[in-house]
């Protein structure tokens, strides 16, 4: 997620002991369990009845249109969900880097001005689970990596939930969500209300609705019209022409193994190592560790330098951008019977736009951070992506727009 003034959201969630947290990007919180979640969620009858073989034809599912948040560059795509009885509508980012839902509540008031706020008293199916927490984020929404003004006060609640004709029965996994009761001002620029996480363990959400656990995502950049699409329970095969290439998940999340990186067809020994990346639709660009980022930048231009005013960012004179080839190929491991393959981030993604405080300097697409490494929308908007939970794999084909 990306506001005009911030960057990749690293959620450093200070949660109670029942929650297992991990640093994620954008509005992120990874939960291993929440009250009411079945202990053996992967052994449910739904999974046994509906799990597909990897060779089965792709199902069609049901789709939700997405809107591009453009603020000088493509920042994030978002769509609609509804919660409660009768339904209350919200716009959210569909985020593969997290597994929970956060939307503003009425208690947020002026702190959430401009965002729709859920009214518990207007829903006959609302349940207050009596758990409160504070979530601290590295950034709010944007392409800048560090912001100290991104904090949410939240309460865990439950209600009916619908998206793209999926309806969760009361008490099901995804009827639990965080109600935002207060937030710092860093979130105010966001044109969307909240976030819906779709982690790689979301089997129940799909199976409870009677669909296979698979979804497709299309992100169309502003210069191509800006419309995107989320297809739940299936894939929109009209959005791509080439065969899908799959890479297996290496852990129970959207992590893939990369065996090498090339820049303009060149590489170095430091770029030919195994790395694990979280493929995250809630991250705008790339977040890598410093050695990897510097190795890539060294093959693009020696003029790319760190911006001390915004630690973790790098930039280059804006008037040099158009002269620089900067195609980045990420090699991914293939599934059994399929070779490794490359995904390409084209040179057009090199610049994330001018820095606000240094308009002559354009921010480059890789931010630096310790810990997990993320691949985000700089890559996704050039591919149709298939997130196959049942078969624990992630597929890509060049999009057809």
Q: Based on the residue annotation, tell me whether 280 is a catalytic residue of this protein.
A: yes
| Tokens (6 digits) for 387 | 């997130």
Short-list 125, 107, 128, 106, CA closest to 117: 106
Catalytic residue among 95, 159, 208, 253: 95
- Sheet bearing 305-306, strands edge to edge: 305-306, 314-317, 361-364, 351-354
User: Which run of H or of E encompasses 66?
Assistant: strand 60-70
| Tokens (6 digits) for 24 | 């994620």
130 vs 144: CA distance, rounded Å: 35
User: Which run of H or of E encompasses 246?
Assistant: strand 245-248
CA angle, 291 then 294 then 297, to 5°? 150
**Residues 39 and 108 sit within 8 Å (Cβ to Cβ):** no
83 vs 268: CA distance, rounded Å: 50
284 vs 374: CA distance, rounded Å: 9
11 vs 13: CA distance, rounded Å: 6
Catalytic residue among 74, 280, 388, 390: 280
Catalytic machinery residues: 95, 280
């Amino acid at each position: 997620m990306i506001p005009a003034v911030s960057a990749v959201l690293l959620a450093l969630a200070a949660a109670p002991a029942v929650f297992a947290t991990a640093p994620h990007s954008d509005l992120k919180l990874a939960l291993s369990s929440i009250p009411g979640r079945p202990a053996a969620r992967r052994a449910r009858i739904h999974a046994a009845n509906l799990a597909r073989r990897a060779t089965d034809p792709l199902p069609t599912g049901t789709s939700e249109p997405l809107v591009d948040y453009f603020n000088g560059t493509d920042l994030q795509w978002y769509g609609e969900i509804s919660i409660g009885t009768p339904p209350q509508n919200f716009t959210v980012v569909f985020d593969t880097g997290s597994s929970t839902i956060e939307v503003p509540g009425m208690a947020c008031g002026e702190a959430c001005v401009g965002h729709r706020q859920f009214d518990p008293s207007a829903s006959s199916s609302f349940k207050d689970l009596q758990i409160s927490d504070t979530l601290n984020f590295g950034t709010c929404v944007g392409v800048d990596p560090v912001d100290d003004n991104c904090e949410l006060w939240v309460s865990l609640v439950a209600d009916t939930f619908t998206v793209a004709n999926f309806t969760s029965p009361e008490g099901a996994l995804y009827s639990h969500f965080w109600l935002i009761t207060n937030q710092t001002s860093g979130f105010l620029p966001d044109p969307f209300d909240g976030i819906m996480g779709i982690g790689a363990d979301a089997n129940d959400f799909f199976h409870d609705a009677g669909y296979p656990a698979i979804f497709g995502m299309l992100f169309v950049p502003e210069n191509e019209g800006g419309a995107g699409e989320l297809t739940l329970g299936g894939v929109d095969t009209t959005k791509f022409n080439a065969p899908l290439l799959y890479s297996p998940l290496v852990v129970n999340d959207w992590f893939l193994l990369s065996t090498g990186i090339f820049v303009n067809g060149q590489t170095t020994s430091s770029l030919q190592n195994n790395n694990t990346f979280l493929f995250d639709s809630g991250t705008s660009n790339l977040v890598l560790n410093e050695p990897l980022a510097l190795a890539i930048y060294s093959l693009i231009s020696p003029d790319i330098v760190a911006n001390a005013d915004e630690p973790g960012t790098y930039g280059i004179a804006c008037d040099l951008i158009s002269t620089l080839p900067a195609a980045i190929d990420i090699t991914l491991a293939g599934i059994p019977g399929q070779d490794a393959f490359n995904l390409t981030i084209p040179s057009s993604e090199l610049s994330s736009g001018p820095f606000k405080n240094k308009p002559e300097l354009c921010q480059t697409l890789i931010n630096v951070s310790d810990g997990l490494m993320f691949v985000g929308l700089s890559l996704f908007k050039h591919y149709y992506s298939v997130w196959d939970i049942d078969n624990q794999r992630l597929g890509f084909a060049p999009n057809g727009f």
